[in-house]
A and B are shown apart, each in its own frame.
Chain A
């Protein structure tokens, strides 16, 4: 059974702080890694799909890196804003199998 772990489970930061969190996955089953941003009462919103070892992707103040050899990805948020408050989910795509999600990191940005 594939297991995707995210840490920390929750995080509180002050507005303006930069932060990062981790997604770990079994490197032997890698095809792609998906990051989603999920606000309460809304649908999970796709942030990034990462496929190549060493990939770095950026969307505004949010960026992500990928290490497929050691099986982890980091998500960074620079200068956190209250509107960044959400649960950030990563999901492992092993190819022809369904996405396997981590439990998410719940981020709260305090103004």
Chain B
């Protein structure tokens, strides 16, 4: 069964450094998402992407964050100048359409640790 893949599985970075988290959504899916979960808290929406542009973003998704779909298969999340509070699990998800019976399919996540 096709699946969403994320790399790396774990990223350790010094505060202030830039990180890029990579995702390969399922190939025929059209809608892409990034979520994060800080330890012990809810899964939080960051951004959704459709038709090569951001369709919605949360308050968390400020100027230090950006997303890109550079080549039609990868979907990346860049954090420009990481802060300690960016430490979290970051999940990518995709779905084929936005019909009511279509779940989002999640990757295994990237654990980001900021030192």
A interface residue numbers (CB < 8 A to B): 31-32, 34, 36, 41-46, 49, 51, 89, 91, 93, 95-104
What 8 pairs across the A-B complex have the smallest Cβ distances? A46-B103, A98-B45, A101-B43, A43-B106, A32-B100, A43-B108, A44-B106, A51-B100
Q: Give bound CA distance, A38 to B106, whole Å.
A: 10
Q: List 28 A-B contacts (CB under 8 A).
A: A34-B104, A36-B106, A42-B108, A43-B4, A43-B91, A43-B106, A43-B107, A43-B108, A43-B109, A44-B43, A44-B91, A49-B100, A49-B101, A49-B103, A51-B100, A51-B101, A91-B43, A95-B98, A96-B98, A97-B56, A98-B45, A98-B48, A99-B33, A100-B45, A101-B35, A101-B43, A101-B44, A104-B42
Q: Give bound CA distance, A102 to B100, whole Å.
A: 19
Q: Which residues of A contact B108 (CB under 8 A)?
A: 41-43
DSSP majority for the A interface?
A: loop
DSSP majority for the B interface?
A: loop
Interface residue total, chain B, C-beta cutoff 8 A: 24
